């Protein structure tokens, strides 16, 4: 009977150690930061010749607009940067999403369209152009989404590059008619994952009876 009790108690102890060990193992997991607003908006040289007016208005969703009047032409770049991300250095960047609040003036249709929507890495326009879809902008403000939780825009990203003040987004627009494009905000969301961590658990299975002590050491 004593032997059976000892075996049963040791089995229970081992089970408790396994359960404790499992609770101290953290799997890799995905996290999201954003959407965040830019802290700077400027006009920079782009594919066109028409400058944006009040580009600094894109830093918040407040119905104050950066605008450009395009008449059968293409605009310069509206560039938004300074998103203030603090992605951990050990993270892997999985995807970047951009949300733009915008509209175009209408005549016989809006006829304002994306020419370029791209990301800025280290102050340089990098990766895929996810604009140029051929879709007319709406005549009243609405959101347009680009990228996604698993979309890296045709390049690779480190946390430091995303956290940098010169990380951002550029937008250029076009129209075949005399139209004005208005942009309220350009927001960015970053999806990333952190590495798994493992905690080692050791135990000293000394008891021979149910009343004896057991020692656990977790590191």
Contact 22, 43 (CB under 8 A): no
How do beta strands 92-104 and 197-198 pair? unpaired
Show Cβ contacts of residue 108 under 8 Å, excluding neighbours closer than 6 positions.
none
> Which pLDDT tens digit goes with each residue over 182-217?
999 999 999 999 997 655 555 555 555 555 555 545
Using the predicted structure, report yes or no on whether residue 80 has a pLDDT greater than 80.
yes
Q: How many CA atoms lie within 13 A of 54 on its CB side?
A: 15
Average pLDDT value over all residues in the chain: 85
* Range name among 108-112, 123-127, 178-182, 199-203 with the lowest pLDDT average: 199-203
* 83: exposed, middle or buried (Cβ count in 10 Å: 0-12, 13-18, 19+): buried
pTM: 0.78
Signed CA dihedral, 49, 55, 94, 147: sign only:
negative
């Amino acid at each position: 009977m004593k032997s059976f009790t000892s075996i049963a108690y040791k089995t229970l102890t081992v089970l408790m150690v396994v359960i404790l060990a499992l609770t101290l193992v953290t799997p890799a997991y995905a996290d999201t930061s954003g959407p965040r607003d830019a802290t700077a908006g400027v006009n920079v040289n782009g594919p066109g010749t028409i400058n944006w007016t009040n580009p600094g208005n894109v830093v918040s969703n407040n119905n104050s607009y950066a605008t450009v009047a395009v008449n059968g032409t293409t605009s310069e770049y509206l560039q938004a940067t300074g998103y203030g991300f603090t992605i951990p250095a050990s993270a892997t960047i999985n995807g970047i999403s951009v949300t733009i609040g915008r509209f175009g003036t209408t005549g016989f249709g809006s006829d304002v369209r994306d020419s370029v929507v791209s990301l800025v890495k280290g102050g340089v326009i990098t990766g895929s152009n996810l604009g140029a879809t051929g879709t007319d902008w709406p005549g009243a403000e609405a959101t347009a989404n680009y990228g996604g939780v698993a979309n890296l825009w045709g390049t690779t990203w480190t946390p430091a590059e995303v956290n940098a003040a010169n990380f951002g987004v550029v937008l250029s627009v076009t129209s075949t008619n005399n139209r004005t494009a208005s942009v309220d905000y350009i927001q960015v969301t970053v999806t990333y994952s952190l590495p798994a961590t493992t905690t080692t658990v050791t135990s000293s299975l000394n008891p021979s009876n149910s009343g004896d002590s057991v020692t656990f050491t977790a590191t």
